[in-house]
Amino acid sequence: MKALLWTDGGARGNPGPAAYAFVLETEDGTVLEARGEAIGVATNNVAEYSALVAGLEAAVAVGVTELELRSDSELMVKQMRGEYRVKNRDLQALFLEASRAARAFGEVTYTHVRREHNELADRLVNEALDAAG
């Protein structure tokens, strides 16, 4: 099964109270899972990677075999594509975890999108931050 994974992470302050969200949907737009979760105090980039890891795990759980990730985090997308090195120690462990999880799929593509094209995941991040508030 082919699916689309939208991810977003955010921190109010950097670091500060943080949350991640992902939306997993089929090619026709049917939402398989959508989740937002507060993760305590973290950086924006840690929240972005947390969204990726959680979304990849959810995709594996429902039997996705081919995945397109869309994220407004240019840094994360370029690191996952191998275009940028992961220098930050906090991100290295999350990068390795995401890389391992991505191996479960026949194909994973990573696409950077503008924030306004990632509305649902962005809203779920803010709702999780507000609820944790």
Reported pTM = 0.96
Classify strands 16-26 and 2-11 as parallel, antiparallel or unpaired.
Answer: antiparallel
Q: Which CATH architecture has domain 2-132?
A: 2-Layer Sandwich (3.30)
Residue 115 carries which DSSP code?
G
Q: How many residues does the chain have?
A: 133
pLDDT per residue as tens digits for the range 3-53: 999 999 999 998 999 999 999 999 999 999 999 999 999 999 999 999 999
Cα angle at 68 between 66 and 70, to 5 degrees?
160
pLDDT per residue as tens digits for the range 78-115: 999 999 999 999 899 999 999 999 999 999 999 999 99
